Amino acid sequence: MTAPNTITAAQLMRLIGTPDVPVLIDICIDEDFADDPRLIPTSFRHSFKRIEDLAPDLQKSKTVVICQKGKKLSQGAAALLRTHGVDAEVLEGGILGWRDHGGSLVPAKAIPERGALWVTRHRPKIDRIACPWLIRRFIDPDARILFVAPSEVAAVAEKFGAIPFDVNGSKLSHGEGTCSFDAFLAGFDLATPALKAMSDIIRAADGTPDAQAPEAAGLLAISLGLSRMYRDNLAQLEAALPLYDALYRWARDAKDETHDWDAHGGAA
């Protein structure tokens, strides 16, 4: 049985990639982090000595504190947060337990500063919605997405310190037989079975040569419909995020499930 104020690796895995993921705070000491400089998706580094500094911003957020083994550092830090009214838990087994359970880990050097700017071409359809979804759900929930004229993406990236994607010249863009979503999975080491299944559909819906997936036609149709519904790119993105949340849950949990109306008495 899970101890009070503790969450298991299996329980947290069910939340990663969903809108219900807690705020994840990695407080591993520098020496331990240097042994394996990777982070659980969406987590950020913070010193356990200054954990109380975060309390004002965590009042309405479920929080999980992560150290190397899930012992004294995370137990103490989470307890301190709870004295400030924060709903704080400890990851059972810490980062080592997460790793042993097969949890995804993102290279820290690949992760930009929290709340970083990302920039791409305006009027998104497939990749330029799928990639922001991936950023928000697996890299940085506070990421800010800029949609600008195609000719200005590179200049905006330079002047505003934004990370360009899905545009010529960017590392996070199309390759031979791949789409920008594929580049994100490779660049952030996020190629889980569910995300790879999503990438097959996104690649085909985005028109990548020779890419095929039966679900792609549905994603394309809905995506084009959303692009007609919204003139504002950010409003379109917010409307589309639940679509990709649903696609992720299908890819993770329901790929083998079918729906037969007659089998449930519908024909009667």
* Mean pLDDT calculated for residue range 143-147: 98
Answer yes or no: do 42 and 59 share one domain: yes
Answer yes or no: do 34 and 87 share one domain: yes
Q: Residue 268 has what pLDDT?
A: 45
Is residue 265 over pLDDT 70?
A: no
Q: What percent of the chain has pLDDT over 90?
A: 94
Q: Residue 264 has what pLDDT?
A: 56
Answer yes or no: do 86 and 147 share one domain: no
Q: Residue 260 has what pLDDT?
A: 76
Nearest to 89 by CA among 55, 65, 59: 65
Q: What is the pTM of this model?
A: 0.95
Range(s) of the domain holding residue 90 = 6-108
Q: What percent of the chain has pLDDT over 70?
A: 97
Please say whether the dihedral angle defined by the alpha carbons of residues 44, 47, 49 and 54, taken in this order, is positive or negative. negative
Question: What is the tens place of the pLDDT at every residue in 150-159?
Answer: 999 999 999 9
Q: 65 lies in a domain?
A: yes
Task: Please give the tally of structural domains in the chain.
Answer: 2
Answer yes or no: do 244 and 137 share one domain: yes
Answer yes or no: do 47 and 176 share one domain: no
Answer yes or no: do 65 and 197 share one domain: no
Q: Torsion angle, CA of 71/73/77/79, rounded to 10 degrees?
A: 30
Question: What is the tens place of the pLDDT at every residue in 228-260?
Answer: 999 999 999 999 999 999 999 999 999 999 887
Answer yes or no: do 182 and 89 share one domain: no
Q: 20 lies in a domain?
A: yes
Question: What is the tens place of the pLDDT at every residue in 150-197?
Answer: 999 999 999 999 999 999 999 999 999 999 999 999 999 999 999 999
What CATH number does residue 18 fall under? 3.40.250.10
Nearest to 185 by CA among 177, 194, 147: 194
Is residue 266 over pLDDT 60?
A: no
Give whole-number Cα distances, 154 to 6, 28, 145, 172, in Å.
45, 36, 14, 13
Answer yes or no: do 199 and 226 share one domain: yes
- Edge-to-edge order in the sheet of strand 44-45: 6-7, 87-91, 62-66, 23-26, 44-45
Is residue 10 over pLDDT 50?
A: yes
Confidence category of residue 1, pLDDT binned at 50, 70, 90? low
Confidence category of residue 212, pLDDT binned at 50, 70, 90? very high
Q: 260 lies in a domain?
A: no
Is residue 111 over pLDDT 90?
A: yes
Answer yes or no: do 127 and 240 share one domain: yes
Beta strands in 115-156 (DSSP E): 117-121, 144-148
What's the alpha-carbon Rg for the chain, to the nearest Å? 20
Answer yes or no: do 188 and 247 share one domain: yes
Please say whether the dihedral angle defined by the alpha carbons of residues 230, 234, 238 and 243, taken in this order, is positive or negative. positive
Is residue 263 over pLDDT 60?
A: no
* Mean pLDDT calculated for residue range 39-50: 98
Q: 119 lies in a domain?
A: yes
End position of a domain, from candidates 91, 108, 125:
108
Query: 171-177 contacts: CB < 8 A, separation 24 or more?
Result: 172/131, 174/127, 174/208, 177/208, 177/209, 177/210, 177/211
Mean pLDDT estimate for the chain: 95
Angle between helix 127-134 and helix 233-249 axes, rounded to 10 deg: 70
Q: 231 lies in a domain?
A: yes
Q: 151 lies in a domain?
A: yes
Q: 1 lies in a domain?
A: no
Answer yes or no: do 42 and 151 share one domain: no
Cα–Cα distance for residue pair 10/150, rounded to 1 Å: 42
